[in-house]
A and B are shown apart, each in its own frame.
Chain A
Amino acid sequence: MKKIFSTIVAIAIFSTLSIAQNRTLPSVDVKTLEGSNININTIENDGNPIVISFWATWCKPCKKELNNIAEVYEDWQDETNVKLVAISIDNARSMAKVAPYVNASDWDYEVYIDPNGDLKRAMGVSTVPHTFLLNSKKEIVWQHKGYVDGDEEELLEQIEKLAK
């Protein structure tokens, strides 16, 4: 049993390392703020970079990250045409608060909700915040766990690399 497992893991890790370059978005349904279903792999930004940021209304660093980016989002968009998609992992307890919170916060992001963690699991997110950067082919090229003040500057550098 153990042997079999370690073989699987070894092979899996090996093949991952060899093909990890072109990881794309999974085909998972999320909810719009209006409650409709949408498949996450249908999000588009006309070949420009996309940032996907997992957050929750109860997560302080998440809100700090999105609030801090909100202050400079217009500049980022002018410069790189980037689009930020915020995925809330709020469950039924706080799901209804997402839309009022987003509106009140004056965010210009595209916001979706992943109430039972399906997308979260499919993308390997164990804690929030967790931020992904997608290139023109919607392949994941960079990711970052957690947020401390100033992290958005590193994110911007990565976006700029893509936008060139």
Chain B
Amino acid sequence: MKNVITLFSFILFITSCDVVEGPYLIDNGGITPVDTSSNTYVKKVLIEDFTGHTCPNCPAAARELEAIHDVYGNQIIGMALHVSTGFAAPWTGAGKYEYDFRTEWGTEWDDFFDISNAGLPRGMVNRIGYPNEHRLGKNEWLSAVITELEKEIDFGISITCDMNGNEGTITVNTELINDVVGDYNLVVCLTESHIIDWQKDGQTDNEFYEHNHVLRSVLSDESLSISSSYTSGDIIAEPIAINLTTLEQYNIDYSANTAINGNGNSGGWNIENMSVIAYIYDNTTKEIVQVEEAHLMNK
């Protein structure tokens, strides 16, 4: 009899379920995006969205990224990396999907983090979880973002751009907020938004799809400093001279030299829509500890 009671109490305890009635939307859940315009540094999160222009499910991931950005504001920084032969190779001469959005660096990271092999869309949120649980489906991004936003920051990054036509200097200043010991790298790269080009979206071929935060070039990926210990208050300045014409040509050459279905990158960069993303990652865990974004043309 005792057993019966045990069993039935067990059954009772599990008969719980929630039925949510509409409206399902709560107004931003009381979240006000942190004011990122002030001079104090805040934790920011980089979402690297591995995608492809012929990947039918990828726009859904891009929309998820925008939705996360809508809620958390400028604390969320997005980057779209077109990778793989299956989903990102240009369809040469097909009248659509002729542009090659891939870059040498995107392909390298895709190989290193083994993303597209597991199918697209997939992404990384500050690259946490490496080496086994870093590949996240779009619906896992939110949880990872929430976890990341709660982390304390040791670094603050500020970016200033000084462009004169296609040439200029980008300066990335890293300010130490706490004493830190470790092996850190600083990566500086360029992305471009508002590119209108073909994208497969579900079963439709959309000629006027807006591609945002597309990785264009990596300007630097080096040790933050030669020393491995940093003192609070230190400021490390990294000035980088750039020439957009050269960088653009580099991608065109890369596409032409890619063994499989290359020769689809015709450049066409629009400097007005370009941004600089700078981030610092821990060389041991690969985790991105801080990230910052600025328009290339300071408006």
A and B in contact, CB less than 8 Å = no
A residues bordering B, Cβ < 8 Å? none
B residues bordering A, Cβ < 8 Å? none
